Amino acid sequence: MVGSVEPKDVKVSVTGTASRGFGRDAQWKVTLFGLISGYGATQAEAREAAIAALGDAVRQMHTAPEFARDDDGTLIVAVPDGGGTAVYRVDSRARNTEFRYGTPEQAVTGAHHYTRIPRS
């Protein structure tokens, strides 16, 4: 097929900074793009943790928010936030009320007093 490319794994070089704290038990820290960091006992472990954090960040960009109603009628909005989900109560204003580990869908379906609003 003309213009078609079979998907394949490729290696991509990313430049970051590595640093180590002081003391016998100090950990390595690798920072990518000045924003995403990973920690480890060795520089290689810290690099792998930073790469995993970068993957998590990219996956979050493609995760849609979830909506629900609390038992009292308040609108609940759950959005991806740094390895978990930030949950907001929206009435006359939006307030970040909790952080939950997992996806936004898990955050709204895991609370017994929320009724998920289905997507149409």
H or E element that contains 16 = strand 16-20
* Distance between CA atoms of residues 29 and 20, nearest Å: 6
- The residues, any chain, with a CB within 8 Å of residue 10's CB and separated by 6 or more, are none
- CB 49 within 8 Å of CB 38: yes
Taking only the tens place, the pLDDT of each residue in 54-110 is: 887 777 777 889 999 999 999 999 998 877 899 999 988 999 999 998 889 999 998
Looking at the fold, whether 55 and 30 belong to one and the same domain comes out as yes
Does 109 map to a domain? yes
Does 8 map to a domain? no
In which domain, by residue range, is 40 found? Answer: 16-61
Taking only the tens place, the pLDDT of each residue in 5-64 is: 787 887 777 778 888 888 888 899 999 888 889 999 999 999 999 988 888 777 777 788
The whole-number pLDDT of residue 31 equals 92
